[in-house]
């Protein structure tokens, strides 16, 4: 990237990206020395009115906000309109001492780049004030010997992730029911586990960490009530359900519910009905996410501000990388080889990135610009078009 103004700060710029072709964007930095009007004048005179992302640093040289814009100059000038700007914009600009911007090829790449950078840097004004129910979480399987299924934000330590989900209260209840149905523990991570097949020097009585063992809703690995393999089998069954491979638990719940109702055990039938409803909705949501990812594998051609065409590779809803349409035979052969490599790696779309998941962003984009779906290319179509080029 072109550095028009060089200055030495702990923050060294946004960094590289594969969202758009290498060396496309330029980063410009400017430090406001005293009055805000100087910063405003710089925006008016120097920043282009084209797609891009921008960042704001405070007096401690920390990145406090990242934003995107279809027109950078217009968007940034809105921060200086005291009477018409939002209250949050006023707080941001008052703390801003340095502005950075990065031009992007088009509006779509600005949208994706903004998400990438927010997840990377987590600036305080992009994070604070967001209600918990609006933050995306995942159902996570922990790596511990007695694995836990829980709803949380990714940490990178999970053995598997499913999601993302909004509306945490509803999903959290579904996770609770999942643990009940598969007899998995939901106690704190630091609860000591002892399995029946563990070697112990002293055979002392163990006390369960909660009432679920007495209620027969947990295998209770905390008191050596099950073997490691027995507990692992239940974790694998829960995993198969979350991956849509085994809906057997739903059939069993439905059968038990009908049997309870037939035997006039209406209270038990109501409990089973609630479990069935919660897990059915969870299964439907996960199924929708899987289908969305499967449908979102294509190459997206879009014009760039430099009058060239860019092909963006999207696999299972994840924006992987972008390339200019080749102008030479060597570039054409290189791009064909790259398409073959990327779209043969089927596991890419299955491996959720804890830092960024663009599935919902891509889906929302094509809901807004549905006509652009007509321009999408399958990998085979893209390769054929390249081979037909002279």
Say if residues 31 and 63 touch (Cβ distance below 8 Å). Answer: no
Check: pTM over 0.85? Answer yes or no.
Answer: no
pLDDT of residue 5: 41
pLDDT of residue 8: 43
26: DSSP letter: E
pLDDT of residue 63: 92
260, 293, 326 — which closes off a domain?
Answer: 293
293, 321, 338 — which closes off a domain?
Answer: 293
Tally the residues of the chain. Answer: 390
Same domain, 141 and 289: yes
DSSP secondary structure of 227-242: -HHHHHHHHHHHHHHH
Q: Count structural domains, the chain.
A: 3
Say if residues 234 and 219 touch (Cβ distance below 8 Å). Answer: yes
pLDDT of residue 40: 87
pLDDT of residue 7: 43
pLDDT of residue 201: 65
With left for phi above 0 and alpha for psi between -120 and 50, is residue 294 left, alpha or beta?
alpha
pLDDT of residue 175: 94
pLDDT of residue 247: 92
pLDDT of residue 345: 65
At residue 339's C-alpha, the angle toward residues 338 and 340, to 5°, is 90
Say if residues 97 and 57 touch (Cβ distance below 8 Å). Answer: yes
Query: What is the residue whose two structure tokens read 């290189």?
Result: 334
Positions of the chain with pLDDT under 50: 1-8, 131-133, 348-356
Rounded Cα–Cα distance for residues 254 and 248 (Å):
10
Same domain, 147 and 285: yes
Domain that holds residue 159: 133-293
Same domain, 284 and 366: no
Same domain, 155 and 200: yes
Same domain, 285 and 145: yes
Rounded Cα–Cα distance for residues 181 and 240 (Å):
14
CATH of the domain at 86: 3.40.1440.10
């Amino acid at each position: 990237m072109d550095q028009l103004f060089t200055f030495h700060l702990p923050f060294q710029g946004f960094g590289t990206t594969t969202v758009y072709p290498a060396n496309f964007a330029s980063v410009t930095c400017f430090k406001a020395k005293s009055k805000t009007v100087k910063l405003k004048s710089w925006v008016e005179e120097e920043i282009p009115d084209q797609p891009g992302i921008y960042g704001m640093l405070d007096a401690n040289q920390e990145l406090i906000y990242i934003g995107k814009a279809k027109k950078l100059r217009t968007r940034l000038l809105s921060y200086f309109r005291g009477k018409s700007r939002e209250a949050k914009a006023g707080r941001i600009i008052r703390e801003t001492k340095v502005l950075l911007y990065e031009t992007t090829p088009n509006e779509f790449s600005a949208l994706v780049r903004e998400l990438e950078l927010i997840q990377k840097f987590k600036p305080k004004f992009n994070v604070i004030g967001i209600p918990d129910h609006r933050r995306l979480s995942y159902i996570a399987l922990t790596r511990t010997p007695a694995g836990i299924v829980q709803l949380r934000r990714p940490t990178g330590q999970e053995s598997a992730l499913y999601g993302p989900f909004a509306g945490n209260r509803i999903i959290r209840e579904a996770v609770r029911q999942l643990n009940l149905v598969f007899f998995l523990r939901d106690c704190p991570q630091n609860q000591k586990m002892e399995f029946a097949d563990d070697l112990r020097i002293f055979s002392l009585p163990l006390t369960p960490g909660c009432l679920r063992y007495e209620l027969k809703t947990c295998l209770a690995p905390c008191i050596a009530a099950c073997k490691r393999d027995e507990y692992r089998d239940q974790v694998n069954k829960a995993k198969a359900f979350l991956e849509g491979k085994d809906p057997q638990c739903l059939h069993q719940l439905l059968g038990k519910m009908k049997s309870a109702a037939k035997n006039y055990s209406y209270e038990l039938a109501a409990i089973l009905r609630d479990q069935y409803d919660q897990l059915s909705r969870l299964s439907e949501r996960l199924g929708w996410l899987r289908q969305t990812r499967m449908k979102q594998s294509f190459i997206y051609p879009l014009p760039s501000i430099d009058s060239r065409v860019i092909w963006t590779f999207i696999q299972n809803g994840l924006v992987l990388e972008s390339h200019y349409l080749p102008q030479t035979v060597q570039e054409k052969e290189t791009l064909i080889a790259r398409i073959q490599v990327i779209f043969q790696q089927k596991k890419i779309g299955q491996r959720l990135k804890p830092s960024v998941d663009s599935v919902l962003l891509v889906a929302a984009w094509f809901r807004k610009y549905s006509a652009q779906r007509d321009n999408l290319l399958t990998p085979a179509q893209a390769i054929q078009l390249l081979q037909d080029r002279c």
